[in-house]
Structure 1
Amino acid sequence: MSLCATASLQLSEPLAGTAATARTWLLLEQPGPWGANALTSSHLDPAVGRALEEAAAGTGVRIALIRRPGRHADCHTPATQRVIVAHTAPGRSWIRTAAVPDPAVLTALDFPALGAGEHGGLGDAYQGDPLVFVCTNGKRDRCCALLGRPLAAELAAAGGVEAWEITHIGGHRFSPTLFVLPYGYAYGRVGAHEVKEVLEAARDGRVVTADCRGRSAWERPAQAAELAVRELTGEDGADALDVPRTEGAAPHWSVTVAHADGRAWRVAVEQGAAEPPRPESCGRAPGVPARMDVVSVTPLS
């Protein structure tokens, strides 16, 4: 059986506008094995996992499990588990970290506030290097294990990189796929060298657009529109661009992209079909996934 990532690459499926949508990420350290739905099929108490899923639904917060790269024996839960919470909106991004003895305490968080960018003093402010999270959950898709785990291990072995494995960020067929905090840009089909360039840029407050899937703070049409403006203008400042308005509905959108210096663009985005059919995930029947096609970029006076 061929890999879904191989088919996507051979068909040159575009990456722009394919990032998972999450204004805020809540990432919980959970060593040991993960199942396909990791929040309810790992060493995390399934009742806690279900409660977290319910609490986060519709709030703009996306929850995932993380662990350090390496071998994952069927180990017991540690005495404390690290929690990373990050908001990804331009100009308002932040990262908070905490160590919790029982993940059940997270169910009491104000998820609507977190989704809106209000951390309420949760944990401590993170001041370290950018964080990279590589999707490695082979129980969800084997491409993530076959392509993601070697990348995560290589990044960790190289040192100087704050690397984690993560359960699910969507887009298995773009493996190895990852995202970087604090800005929340996702990438696909990358190697260790490209990831290090992405992290170096993030340290300087910049964005690398090559192999970029989009910024998770926005829905897919806005992700594609913002990347198109970056390609047009050469702007690489992470917080230089914002998306104040998206109008329309599938398959046609009009997206306004605004620059911090006052410039703005109207970007026409259309939803197309990625032909010919290909598996969106390993083991699934071939389908035609939606793609975000930028039709025009018009400067606004």
Structure 2
Amino acid sequence: MTEPTRFFCAEAARLRGDPLAGTAPYGSTWILIEYRSGWPTNGFDGLALVPEVKTQVYEAARARRARILLIRRHGRDRPDTPPRWAVLHQERDGAHRQTWGVWRSERDLAEIVAALEEPGEHDCPPVLLVCAHGVHDTCCAVRGRPVGQALSERWPALVWECTHVGGDRFAANVVVAPDGVYYGNLDAHSAVAAIEDHLADRIRADHLRGFTDLVPAQQAALSAVLRHAGPAGRYAYAIAETVREDDRWRVHVTARLPGLSAFVVEVRAHRSPPRQLTCRGRAAASAVGYDVVSLRCV
């Protein structure tokens, strides 16, 4: 008897042509916890930590709408140094802040709660997070780990593998934090190229899922601008106005730098037919995508 073909959600999404732009989850604060043992399927939620400490961190994160990710270096090395934790902020004015600490016992993680209220250090290099959460989704491991290796070889101090960041079918996924930029559909070669450009403040639309301080329709509009006008810096453009009418948005994108144009982008939402969206999620589900209807310079 012929074995059934194994399903890989990222491969299926590429074959379908699932739209990438407009798929970055909203957020401006990240909590990172280095955890060198095996990651539970549900990440931080599944850790058997001291209950009161776990509750404190969880409640503080929920109050700030912060995302908690477990992290580790590629290769699962276990150095003699204690594991680290971090709180990363992206402020409303675009300033980036980071606070780092170490934990020798689970109770040390309670320091994260205070760090969420502190300004943190600025002028820190960004953190490159590669989703490699294989027990959550097979594609995250199969596609994420080669990307984690390639990026780690190039920028060893910046790169961490991490738990689920959302959008398994777009693996390999890379998040630059606290910049708040999601990249997807990456392999080892394209990941290095995308991050080289990002670190040079030259963001391209090719693998861009979106900016986490924008809603999906705005992300899709800005991606269309970058595809039309060419690569630009993280804060080269701003969203001046967004008007929604039913399933359509009219997004006014303004330039923050001289020499760049302003645009009006019309975006339409559509819902896909029900289908299997993740490797482990057997139930069919639909996803919302965003099509650019028109783009004009103003």
Same fold flag (TM > 0.5): yes
Mapped partners of 1:61, 1:121: distance in 2: 15
Is 1:27 the counterpart of 2:32? The answer is: yes
Is 1:290 the counterpart of 2:288? The answer is: yes
Mapped partners of 1:238, 1:194: distance in 2: 19
Instruction: Tell me the amino acid that sits aligned with residue 267 of structure 1.
Output: V
TM-score (norm 1): 0.83
Greater CA drift, 220-229 or 52-61: 52-61
Mapped partners of 1:242, 1:15: distance in 2: 20
Deviations 1:175-214 (A, max 9, x none): 1111123532211121122122222222222212211111
Q: Secondary structure at the match of 1:137?
A: coil
Is 1:82 the counterpart of 2:103? The answer is: no
Gaps of 5+ in 2: 1-5
Report the RMSD for the aligned CA atoms in angstroms: 2.7
CA shift for structure 1 position 39: 1.4
CA shift for structure 1 position 21: 1.3
Q: Secondary structure at the match of 1:256?
A: strand
Based on CA coordinates, which of the two structures has the bigger radius of gyration? 2
Identify the residue that residue 114 of structure 1 maps to in structure 2: none
Is 1:17 the counterpart of 2:22? The answer is: yes
Deviations 1:69-115 (A, max 9, x none): 11378x99x745231413176x613141311431112123456xxxx
Identity of aligned residues (%): 31
Identify the residue that residue 279 of structure 1 maps to in structure 2: 276
CA shift for structure 1 position 19: 1.1
Instruction: Tell me the amino acid that sits aligned with residue 199 of structure 2.
Output: R
TM-score (norm 2): 0.84
Mapped partners of 2:157, 2:77: distance in 1: 20
CA shift for structure 1 position 161: 6.2
Deviations 1:210-251 (A, max 9, x none): 111111121111111111111122242221011233332763
CA shift for structure 1 position 299: 3.4
Identify the residue that residue 3 of structure 2 maps to in structure 1: none
CA shift for structure 1 position 160: 5.2
Q: Secondary structure at the match of 1:198?
A: helix
CA shift for structure 1 position 255: 2.1
Greater CA drift, 42-51 or 263-272: 42-51
Identify the residue that residue 57 of structure 1 maps to in structure 2: 62
Cα 1:152/1:80, change in 2 over 3 Å: closer
Is 1:170 the counterpart of 2:157? The answer is: no
- Aligned residues between the structures: 286
Q: Would you say the 8 A contact 2:95–2:122 is kept in 1?
A: no
Gaps of 5+ in 1: 112-119
Mapped partners of 1:190, 1:155: distance in 2: 11
Choose which of 82, 90, 100 in structure 2 pairs with 1:98: 100
